[in-house]
Chain A
Amino acid sequence: MKFVTAIIKPFQIDAVRDALTGLGVSGLTVSEVRGYGRQKGHTEIYRGAEYATSLVPKLKLELACPDGLLDRVVEAIQATAHTGTVGDGKIFVQTIERAVRIRTGETDDAAI
Chain B
Amino acid sequence: MPQSERAKLGRTGRALAAGSAAIGSACWALPARAQAAAAAAPAPIVDKGDTAWMLIATALVLMMSVPGLALFYGGLVRTKNMLSVLTQVFVIVCLVAVIWVTWGYSLTFSEGGPFIGGVSKLFLAGVRADSLAATFSNGVYIPEYAFICFQMTFACITPALIVGGFAERVKFSGLMLFVTLWVTFVYFPIAHMVWYWDGPDGIAAAAAAGDAALAEATARAGAIFQMGALDFAGGTVVHINAGIAGLVGAIMLGKRVGYPREPMPPHSLVMTMIGASLLWVGWFGFNAGSNLEANAVTAVAFINTFAATAAAGLSWVLVEQASGGKPSLLGAVTGAVAGLVAVTPASGFAGPMGSVVLGLIVSPICYLFVAKVKSRFGYDDSLDVFGVHCVGGIVGALATGILVDPALGGQGIADYAAQPGTATFGYPGLGPQLWAQAKAVLLTIAWSGIGSAILYLAIDKTIGLRAGEDAQREGLDLAEHGERAYNY
Chain B residues with Cβ below 8 Å from A49 are 260, 371, 375
Instruction: Say yes or no: B265 contacts A47, CB within 8 Å.
Output: no
- Residue in B260, B263, B326, B331 whose beta carbon sits within 8 Å of that of A47 in the complex: B331
Chain A residues with Cβ below 8 Å from B260 are 49
Chain A residues with Cβ below 8 Å from B370 are 47-48
B325 interface contact, C-beta 8 A = yes
Instruction: Say yes or no: B372 contacts A47, CB within 8 Å.
Output: no
Instruction: Say yes or no: A51 contacts B265, CB within 8 Å.
Output: yes
A45 interface contact, C-beta 8 A = yes
Chain B residues with Cβ below 8 Å from A67 are none
Chain B residues with Cβ below 8 Å from A46 are 265-266, 328, 330
B384 interface contact, C-beta 8 A = yes
A contacts with B, residue count (CB < 8 A): 8
Identity of the chain A residue whose Cβ is nearest the Cβ of B266 in the assembled complex: A46
Q: Given the complex of chains A and B, what is the CA–CA distance between A51 and B331 in angstroms?
A: 16
Scoring B residues 256 to 271 as 1 if CB is less than 8 Å from chain A, else 0, what string do you get?
Answer: 0000100101100000
Scoring A residues 85 to 112 as 1 if CB is less than 8 Å from chain B, else 0, what string do you get?
Answer: 0000000000000000000000000000
Q: Given the complex of chains A and B, what is the CA–CA distance between A45 and B367 in angstroms?
A: 13
Instruction: Say yes or no: A45 contacts B334, CB within 8 Å.
Output: no
Does more than half of chain A's interface fall in helix, strand or loop, or is it mixed?
strand
Instruction: Say yes or no: A48 contacts B375, CB within 8 Å.
Output: yes
Chain A residues with Cβ below 8 Å from B372 are 48
Instruction: Say yes or no: A45 contacts B263, CB within 8 Å.
Output: no
Q: Given the complex of chains A and B, what is the CA–CA distance between A44 and B374 in angstroms?
A: 18
Instruction: Say yes or no: B375 contacts A47, CB within 8 Å.
Output: no
Chain B residues with Cβ below 8 Å from A45 are 325-326, 328
Chain B residues with Cβ below 8 Å from A51 are 263, 265
Scoring B residues 323 to 336 as 1 if CB is less than 8 Å from chain A, else 0, what string do you get?
Answer: 00110101100100
Identity of the chain B residue whose Cβ is nearest the Cβ of A47 in the assembled complex: B370
Chain B residues with Cβ below 8 Å from A48 are 367, 370-372, 374-375
Interface residues of A in 72-94 (CB under 8 A from B): none
Scoring A residues 18 to 45 as 1 if CB is less than 8 Å from chain B, else 0, what string do you get?
Answer: 0000000000000000000000000011
Identity of the chain A residue whose Cβ is nearest the Cβ of B325 in the assembled complex: A45
Q: Given the complex of chains A and B, what is the CA–CA distance between A24 and B241 in angstroms?
A: 69
B contacts with A, residue count (CB < 8 A): 17
Instruction: Say yes or no: A44 contacts B375, CB within 8 Å.
Output: no
A46, A47, A53 pick with most chain B CB within 10 angstroms: A47
Identity of the chain A residue whose Cβ is nearest the Cβ of B383 in the assembled complex: A47
Identity of the chain A residue whose Cβ is nearest the Cβ of B372 in the assembled complex: A48
Q: Given the complex of chains A and B, what is the CA–CA distance between A48 and B367 in angstroms?
A: 8
Q: Given the complex of chains A and B, what is the CA–CA distance between A5 and B239 in angstroms?
A: 56
Q: Given the complex of chains A and B, what is the CA–CA distance between A51 and B78 in angstroms?
A: 14
Q: Given the complex of chains A and B, what is the CA–CA distance between A46 and B387 in angstroms?
A: 14
Instruction: Say yes or no: B265 contacts A44, CB within 8 Å.
Output: yes
Q: Given the complex of chains A and B, what is the CA–CA distance between A53 and B265 in angstroms?
A: 11
Instruction: Say yes or no: B325 contacts A47, CB within 8 Å.
Output: no
Chain A residues with Cβ below 8 Å from B371 are 47-49
Identity of the chain A residue whose Cβ is nearest the Cβ of B384 in the assembled complex: A47
Chain A residues with Cβ below 8 Å from B330 are 46-47
Scoring B residues 440 to 467 as 1 if CB is less than 8 Å from chain A, else 0, what string do you get?
Answer: 0000000000000000000000000000
Least CB distance from B243 to A in Å reads 15
Identity of the chain B residue whose Cβ is nearest the Cβ of A52 in the assembled complex: B263
Q: Given the complex of chains A and B, what is the CA–CA distance between A46 and B367 in angstroms?
A: 11
Chain A residues with Cβ below 8 Å from B374 are 48
Chain A residues with Cβ below 8 Å from B328 are 45-46
Least CB distance from A11 to B in Å reads 21
Q: Given the complex of chains A and B, what is the CA–CA distance between A51 and B367 in angstroms?
A: 18
Chain A residues with Cβ below 8 Å from B384 are 47
Identity of the chain A residue whose Cβ is nearest the Cβ of B269 in the assembled complex: A46
Interface residues of A in 42-66 (CB under 8 A from B): 44-49, 51, 53
Q: Given the complex of chains A and B, what is the CA–CA distance between A93 and B457 in angstroms?
A: 63
Least CB distance from A66 to B in Å reads 37
Q: Given the complex of chains A and B, what is the CA–CA distance between A95 and B330 in angstroms?
A: 50
Chain A residues with Cβ below 8 Å from B265 are 44, 46, 51
Identity of the chain A residue whose Cβ is nearest the Cβ of B323 in the assembled complex: A48
Identity of the chain A residue whose Cβ is nearest the Cβ of B328 in the assembled complex: A45
19 contacts between A and B (CB under 8 A): A44-B265, A45-B325, A45-B326, A46-B265, A46-B266, A47-B330, A47-B331, A47-B334, A47-B370, A47-B384, A48-B367, A48-B370, A48-B371, A48-B374, A49-B260, A49-B371, A49-B375, A51-B265, A53-B263
17 further A-B contacts with Cβ under 8 Å, apart from A46-B330, A51-B265, A53-B263, are A44-B265, A45-B325, A45-B326, A45-B328, A46-B265, A46-B266, A46-B328, A47-B331, A47-B334, A47-B370, A47-B371, A47-B384, A48-B367, A48-B371, A48-B372, A48-B375, A51-B263
Give residues in B with beta carbon < 8 Å to A: 260, 263, 265-266, 325-326, 328, 330-331, 334, 367, 370-372, 374-375, 384
What 4 A-B pairs have minimum CB-CB distances, sorted nearest first? A48-B371, A51-B263, A47-B370, A51-B265
